[in-house]
């Protein structure tokens, strides 16, 4: 470890560290625009200048300079201060200085650093350069005159998102950042360039001119759009969520978020269920809570009751519904609403065991029946990192698609899992850290699950310090529902076969409601979507931003989210609906408050009381290992419209039309 001196303080730094990293280890704040910890080094902005001896008698860019034994680094010398002020003056020469109308105002690196290093007035008398706006799609708004050519967006698109849709044309002062042929950026991660942009050149188009950061209340939450469990910050004003931004969590999402996570929020105020409804003479009519409960009581279902959890159901909601169903004498609980019926006797056999963070360390990867780019975009970035930085080999079975990295497609026949080509088998057996990833499409084919477990054993994918058998779920509720017992041997087919008189649908919109013609359907949810249209009674509930809850992601990580805003109208938090309904039906659930509900849930499933990755052990169920010879289906048809909130969102609708279905929305440059 090289020993360096930073402003008179000696310290040891890791081998290969840059001078900038050494300064930060010494507690010094180094200004920067182009440098970012998760991107390659560009050395474009020159804002991070420091004085280094031995070396030339001039300031040097600390981001691109490696540390060496005996270096003496000065970060606050008159030379450094003068150099940074000079760089700042040059950066502001062409900048429009339109802070009052810029959406980056209050969160702008250029504003912050100009306070420290900027002049009070400009010395530039020439005409400022102006750049036409570029079209980057429905997510990213451009004001390219503000651009300082730091190229963070270009590097992110190429290195993390894996698309080459953003690049630079021209040189010197005439350099411009643009999208390819000025078409929408075809990436489900494009919104991250807004966070990366250190000036206001790239801002959020759906959020444009909506609010200032200091007006917003900020709440820590967990995203429910997919099963990754992205750590987010919910920014709200009054009773409306205006934006969702990612939080740093190196174990889950690093500091990225998918476009769906960011921009589904305009769907939270549209098509909302804000009062109870009861179906009378074939029509849903408004009702009071008492009338809705009376209608449910009038069914006189006895023990013939079921509960089906939707993709965004939280653990407390599912526990409260389970408590009610059990109190009525039934055990019909299911969370796989689309009809999957894979074995759930061992949670470790349906978990992402490698963990999301460790996925980037795999050296040979086999994907079976999963479009990771849509099912779990932030797991896909980890696989891309394994390929791009560490040379991992990827083989894939299923419908061929662009995953943003090189993969060898073996075909879409499910039977290939039990008869892999010899070269693939040899690669997996010879790998130090082999990794198998099975998606929902794969588990829908009988025999694939068992064949996958047998394959994991034959290639030694599970060993000390490494578990390479993984199932990637798409539903945010899935692992939580399985921990709470929402899994029948035959899946939802068992519910249909039981013909329950009464069924509760916990935000479940993807169920085949026609298969339950004689069942009295109670929809407990927040959006008027497919489930509400099929319901006999609608009980308005809270969306994920409107309640405290516990959720479990695809790797079994237990996480907690906080309430940001109140639910609209007469809508209530889900647990309280079931608690009140229990009184109407004459049964007791054993809790009267949210705290008691959570405590009872933790008492029933202790693992839900400890934040972090739950330990499921490793047990392998005995399953048939001969997959059917048929094509593996894809579980997601449209990335942007996978749930009721997204389908209510104008932004997600626009993304779907333009990026999935090819509609042309290209706008003329201003």
Tens digit of pLDDT for each residue in 426-476? 999 999 999 999 998 899 999 999 999 999 999 999 988 899 999 999 999
Enter the tokens of residue 576: 């309280």
| Mean of the per-residue pLDDT values of the chain | 91
Question: Where is 278: in which H helix or E strand?
Answer: strand 277-280
For residue 668, name the pLDDT band (cuts at 50, 70, 90).
Answer: very low
DSSP-derived 3-state class of residue 520: strand
Enter the tokens of residue 409: 């497609």
Cα separation, 632 vs 409, whole angstroms = 13
Could you tell me which residues come within 8 angstroms of residue 607 by beta carbon, excluding any fewer than 6 positions away? 483, 558, 614, 615
% of the chain beyond a pLDDT of 90? 61
Q: Do 20 and 35 form a contact (C-beta atoms < 8 A)?
A: yes
| Interval 235-259 mean pLDDT | 93
Cα separation, 192 vs 209, whole angstroms = 19
Cα separation, 570 vs 539, whole angstroms = 9
Residue 426, pLDDT score: 92
Q: Do 398 and 367 form a contact (C-beta atoms < 8 A)?
A: yes
User: Considering only 103-112, 359-368, 503-512, 597-606, which range has the smallest mean pLDDT?
Assistant: 103-112
Q: Is the pLDDT of residue 15 over 50?
A: yes
Cα separation, 253 vs 250, whole angstroms = 6
Handedness of CA 60, 63, 66, 68 (dihedral sign): positive
| Interval 381-403 mean pLDDT | 91
Question: Where is 191: in which H helix or E strand?
Answer: none
For residue 106, name the pLDDT band (cuts at 50, 70, 90).
Answer: confident
Q: Which residue has the higher pLDDT, 228 or 183?
A: 228
Rounded to 10 deg, the angle between the 574-585 and 289-297 helix axes is 50
Q: Is the pLDDT of residue 670 over 70?
A: no
Residue 665, pLDDT score: 66
Kindly provide the b/e burial profile for residues 378-401, where b requires at least 16 CB atoms within 10 angstroms of the residue's own CB: bbbbbbbbbbbeeebbbbbbbeee
| Interval 509-513 mean pLDDT | 91
Residue 667, pLDDT score: 57
Enter the tokens of residue 574: 């889900």
| Interval 146-153 mean pLDDT | 90
% of the chain beyond a pLDDT of 70? 99
Largest CA distance in the chain: 88
Residue 176's nearest CA partner among 139, 146, 156 is 146
For residue 127, name the pLDDT band (cuts at 50, 70, 90).
Answer: confident
Q: Which residue has the higher pLDDT, 175 or 221?
A: 221
Residue 367, number of CB atoms within 10 A of its CB: 26
| Interval 594-623 mean pLDDT | 92
Q: Is the pLDDT of residue 28 over 80?
A: yes
Query: How does DSSP assign 347-383, residue by residue?
Result: GGGGSBTT-TTGGGG-SEEEEES--HHHH-HHHHHHH
Cα separation, 452 vs 275, whole angstroms = 47
Residue in this structure with the two tokens 């020993």, named with its chain if needed:
3
């Amino acid at each position: 470890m090289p020993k360096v001196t930073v402003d008179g303080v000696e310290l040891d730094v890791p081998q290969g560290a840059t001078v900038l990293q050494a300064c930060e280890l010494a507690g010094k704040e180094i200004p920067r625009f182009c440098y970012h910890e998760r991107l390659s080094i560009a050395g474009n902005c020159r804002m991070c200048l420091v004085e280094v001896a031995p070396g030339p008698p001039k300031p040097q860019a600390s981001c691109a300079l490696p540390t060496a034994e005996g270096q003496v680094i000065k970060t606050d010398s008159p030379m450094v201060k003068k150099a940074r002020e000079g760089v700042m003056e040059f950066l502001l020469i062409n900048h429009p200085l339109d802070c009052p109308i810029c959406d980056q105002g209050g969160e702008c690196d250029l504003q912050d650093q100009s306070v420290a290093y900027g002049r009070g007035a400009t010395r530039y008398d020439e005409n400022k350069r102006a750049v036409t706006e570029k079209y980057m799609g429905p997510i990213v708004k451009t004001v390219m005159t503000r651009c300082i050519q730091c190229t963070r967006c270009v590097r992110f698109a190429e290195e993390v998102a894996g698309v080459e849709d953003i690049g630079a044309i021209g040189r010197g002062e005439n350099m411009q950042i643009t999208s390819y042929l000025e078409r929408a950026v075809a990436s489900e991660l494009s919104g991250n360039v807004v966070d990366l942009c250190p000036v206001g050149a790239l801002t959020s188009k759906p959020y444009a001119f909506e609010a200032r950061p200091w007006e917003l209340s900020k709440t820590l939450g967990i995203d429910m759009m997919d099963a990754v469990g992205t750590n987010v910050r919910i920014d709200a004003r009054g009773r409306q969520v205006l934006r969702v931004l990612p939080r740093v969590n190196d174990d889950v999402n690093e500091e990225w978020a998918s476009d769906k996570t960011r921009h589904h929020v305009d769907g939270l105020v549209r098509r909302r269920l804000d009062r109870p409804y009861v179906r009378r003479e074939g029509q849903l009519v408004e009702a009071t809570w008492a009338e809705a409960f009376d209608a449910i009581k009038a069914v006189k279902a006895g023990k013939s009751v079921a509960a089906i959890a939707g993709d965004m159901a939280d653990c407390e909601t599912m526990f409260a519904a389970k408590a009610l169903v059990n109190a009525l004498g039934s055990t019909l609980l299911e969370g796989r609403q689309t009809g999957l019926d894979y074995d759930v006797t061992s949670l470790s056999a349906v978990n992402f065991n490698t963990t999301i963070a460790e996925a980037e360390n795999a050296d040979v990867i086999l994907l079976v029946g999963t479009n990771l780019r849509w099912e779990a975009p932030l797991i896909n970035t980890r696989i891309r990192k394994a390929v791009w930085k560490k040379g991992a080999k990827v083989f894939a079975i299923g419908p061929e698609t662009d995953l943003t990295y090189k993969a060898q497609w073996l075909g879409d026949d499910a039977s290939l899992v039990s008869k892999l080509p010899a070269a693939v088998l040899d690669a997996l057996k010879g790998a130090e850290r082999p990794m198998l990833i099975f998606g929902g499409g794969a588990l829908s084919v009988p025999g694939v699950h068992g064949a996958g477990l047998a394959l994991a054993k034959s290639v030694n994918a599970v060993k000390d310090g490494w578990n390479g058998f993984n199932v990637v779920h798409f539903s945010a509720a899935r692992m939580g529902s399985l921990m709470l017992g929402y899994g029948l041997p035959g899946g939802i087919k068992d519910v249909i076969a039981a013909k329950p008189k009464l069924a509760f649908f916990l935000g479940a919109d993807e169920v085949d409601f026609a298969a339950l013609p004689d069942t009295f359907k109670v929809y407990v949810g927040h959006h008027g979507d497919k489930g509400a249209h099929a319901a006999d009674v609608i009980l308005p509930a809270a969306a994920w931003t409107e309640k405290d809850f516990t959720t479990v992601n695809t790797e079994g990580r237990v996480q907690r989210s906080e309430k940001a805003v109140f639910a609209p109208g007469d809508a209530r938090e889900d647990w309280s609906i079931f608690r009140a309904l229990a009184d109407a039906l004459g049964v007791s659930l054993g809790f009267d408050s949210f705290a008691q509900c959570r405590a009872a849930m933790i008492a029933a499933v202790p693992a839900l009381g400890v934040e972090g990755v739950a330990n499921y052990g490793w047990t392998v169920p005995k399953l048939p290992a001969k997959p059917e010879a048929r094509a593996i289906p894809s579980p997601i048809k449209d990335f942007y419209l996978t749930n009721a909130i997204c389908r209510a969102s104008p932004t997600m609708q626009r993304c779907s039309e333009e990026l999935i279905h090819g509609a042309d929305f290209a706008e003329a440059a201003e």
